[in-house]
Structure 1
Amino acid sequence: MSNDHPSLRESATFDRATIQEIQRAAAEGIYRIRGFGAKRALPHFDDLVFLGASVSRYPLEGYRERCGTEVVLGTRHASKPITLDIPVTIAGMSFGSLSANAKEALGRGASEVGTSTTTGDGGMTNEERGHSKTLVYQYLPSRYGMNPDDLRRADAIEVVVGQGAKPGGGGMLLGQKISDRVAEMRTLPKDIDQRSACRHPDWTGPDDLEIKIRELREITDWEKPIYVKVGATRTYYDTMLAVKAGADVIVVDGMQGGTGATQECFIEHVGIPTLAAVRLATEALQELGLHRKGVQLIVSGGIRTGADVAKAIALGADAVSIGTAALIALGDNRPDLAGEYAKLGTAPGFYEDWQAGNDPAGITTQNPELEKRLDPVKAGHRLANYLRVLTLEAQTLARACGKSHLHNLEPEDLQALTLEAAAMAKVPLAGTDWIPGLR
């Protein structure tokens, strides 16, 4: 705030951003829609630190001693589980929300480092399938683009019950992004805003989910791993019910997870942080006797660094999934396009209007001229470089804790810097043996 009026005091409740939003709502008469994820400060993996090895434990030498990163998903029921070289996967982001070039780039980048990518709502594109060594097919409430042939072409199936940015709600695809191709794939009218359903049309509870999972297994001859993805809310019970319904893999998406478009009130006010969700899901699997023994856990929502990866795994995840970070790695919010962003009333690092279809980087658009700006080969290589860095960082931290595999990391390797993080992650407050709420 300017010092021109030092006697003026801004209200903590009605700050200028709040006042501006009230005025916008009064003028337009509709809630705000945007992309990206929650922007307010939330307890996160940054609030945890590792206890590196010294006398009580010996570190591993990075240049001579191996630290494994591979992960196998779908060992419970699938006859063809998938093996990934690294425990970082690409989350589901739809063709429609993203351009065809962006979907191809995600497949290329993931394949280059031996991990998987995911289709998202709206079906499977040939570009994506053709350049993805391991592709997970999302089965969503909307059923947009769904067909049994693509289920069989996929390497795994992810039944989406909820998403971290909008658990309990459906996404949006505005009319300007429904091109001829998107409309055909989704069987939708062109140029008309579409809202995805918030729940599956053919089940109302976990018993029905069990029936649906069995149907999917029969369609795919029991070969494909079946994931169930939930937005982080009642995570402990949702995890238990999904496992009892027959899931091979549980995907838990915290509220820091991004979205292509939804109401801002959802993004900022629904769900719980990823930090809290990972421990709840882990405890559910432990109680069932299936943690690291049959059912795998993937955690997503705000993963940015190798430290985030390592901490999520230490808290119980088998792998993590990235979405927003992957788009940034492809080239979203590029500084060299500052002039283009300025024309849209924003700036690199602040661009969030993924729903509008005007992305100067050619990623979240269906505009052919803008899409040409994204070279899928170069963008895919950038993504692969980023995934390598995440893996190397996670390995560095694991070796520092004396671990020969990322999955050997454990909560005992962590302490918390804040009371909130200690309580959510259920690790001691740094310098103490106190876990708030437990002892």
Structure 2
Amino acid sequence: MGAKRRLPSFDDLVFLTASASRYPLEGYREKCSTQTILGNRNAKKPIKLDTPITIAGMSFGSLSANVKEALGKAASEVGTSTTTGDGGMTAEERQSSRILVYQCLPSRYGFNPDDLRQADAVEIVLGQGAKPGGGGMLLGQKVSERVAGMRTLPAGIDQRSACRHPDWVGPDDLKIKIEELREITDWQIPVYVKMGATRVRDDVKLAVKAGADVVVIDGMQG
């Protein structure tokens, strides 16, 4: 997915071990916890991850319902979250996922308040790492009757996703959208903002100022 050239993978990770600035733990008497809590500043029900490596959003349509369900089960097994992607939330995905992040994308395909209230967090997508500033295209051969029904669009027809949200024109509108989502969910769940890694310094500042609980920076693999 994403860029065609080779990019770093998990095999390329190098962990910085302890020395002087980070003192080592004694394994037999001290514990090293990977638990990560997201959204405890504003949300009544923050996200608690046992493993701080999450599964990013991939749409129902580009992936089948079975694959979405499998991702939910895998994420639950290791104590992390998975994300819906464009096209909405499937019942199988919600049932199999202990922690499910519901995306609010520019296309708004499949996005509705009822599913939003079932989510454990909501992620406003401003951009994708593989194509920041660009929309998307789901080929008609993948647009089944079920996919089309969730998107309220014709089956078998190429479906384009917009490159920006239809109801705002700048950073001030992002703040309004975050507050709107908080009101819909009664301030229960964290609000993420996802963006492609472009003008990271400025974009992160704007997202934090707008009130995001979590800022997701998507690399070109995404």
TM-score with structure 1 length normalisation?
A: 0.48
Match of 1:239 in 2: 204
Match of 2:35 in 1: 70
Match of 1:181 in 2: 146
Match of 1:145 in 2: 110
Q: CA 1:68–1:51 in structure 2 vs 1: closer, same or farther (change >3 Å)?
A: closer
Output aligned runs, 1:339-358, within 5 Å. Answer: none
Matched, 1:113 2:84: no
Q: CA 1:40–1:82 in structure 2 vs 1: closer, same or farther (change >3 Å)?
A: same
Distance 2:34 2:4 in 1: 31
Output aligned runs, 1:323-402, within 5 Å. Answer: none
Match of 1:198 in 2: 163
Which 5+ residue runs of structure 1 have no aligned equivalent?
1-35, 258-439
Q: CA RMSD in A?
A: 2.2
Q: CA 1:51–1:145 in structure 2 vs 1: closer, same or farther (change >3 Å)?
A: closer
Distance apart, 1:214 and its partner CA: 0.8
Q: What amino acid does structure 2 have at the position aligned with 1:107? A: G
Higher Cα radius of gyration:
1
Match of 1:15 in 2: none
Match of 1:169 in 2: 134
Match of 1:370 in 2: none
Distance 1:43 1:146 in 2: 33
Percent of paired sites with the same residue: 78
Output aligned runs, 1:39-438, within 5 Å. Answer: 39-41=4-6, 49-50=14-15, 52-53=17-18, 59-60=24-25, 62=27, 65-257=30-222
Distance apart, 1:252 and its partner CA: 0.3
Match of 1:38 in 2: 3
Distance apart, 1:173 and its partner CA: 0.3
The structure whose RCO (Cα within 8 Å, separation 6+) is larger is 1
Distance apart, 1:113 and its partner CA: 1.8
Match of 1:339 in 2: none
Distance 1:115 1:45 in 2: 17
| SS in structure 2 of the partner of residue 163 of structure 1 | coil
Q: CA 1:56–1:79 in structure 2 vs 1: closer, same or farther (change >3 Å)?
A: closer
Q: What amino acid does structure 2 have at the position aligned with 1:227? A: Y
| SS in structure 1 of the partner of residue 54 of structure 2 | strand
* Structure number having the greater helix percentage: 1
| SS in structure 2 of the partner of residue 123 of structure 1 | coil
Distance 1:83 1:100 in 2: 26
Distance apart, 1:76 and its partner CA: 2.0
Q: What amino acid does structure 1 have at the position aligned with 2:157? A: I
Equivalences, count: 222
Distance apart, 1:220 and its partner CA: 0.7
Deviations along 1:240-285, one digit per CA (max 9) or x if unpaired, are 001111100000001132xxxxxxxxxxxxxxxxxxxxxxxxxxxx
Distance 1:45 1:102 in 2: 21
Distance 1:255 1:215 in 2: 30
| SS in structure 2 of the partner of residue 207 of structure 1 | helix
Distance 2:77 2:118 in 1: 20
| SS in structure 2 of the partner of residue 88 of structure 1 | coil
Distance 1:214 1:54 in 2: 44
| SS in structure 2 of the partner of residue 90 of structure 1 | coil
| SS in structure 2 of the partner of residue 92 of structure 1 | coil
Distance apart, 1:88 and its partner CA: 1.0
Q: CA 1:205–1:70 in structure 2 vs 1: closer, same or farther (change >3 Å)?
A: same
Q: CA 1:49–1:107 in structure 2 vs 1: closer, same or farther (change >3 Å)?
A: closer
* Deviating 4+ runs (over 3 angstroms): 41-65
Q: What amino acid does structure 1 have at the position aligned with 2:91? A: N
Q: What amino acid does structure 2 have at the position aligned with 1:201? A: P
Q: What amino acid does structure 2 have at the position aligned with 1:214? A: E
Deviations along 1:25-66, one digit per CA (max 9) or x if unpaired, are xxxxxxxxxxx1223356889888555446887644556642
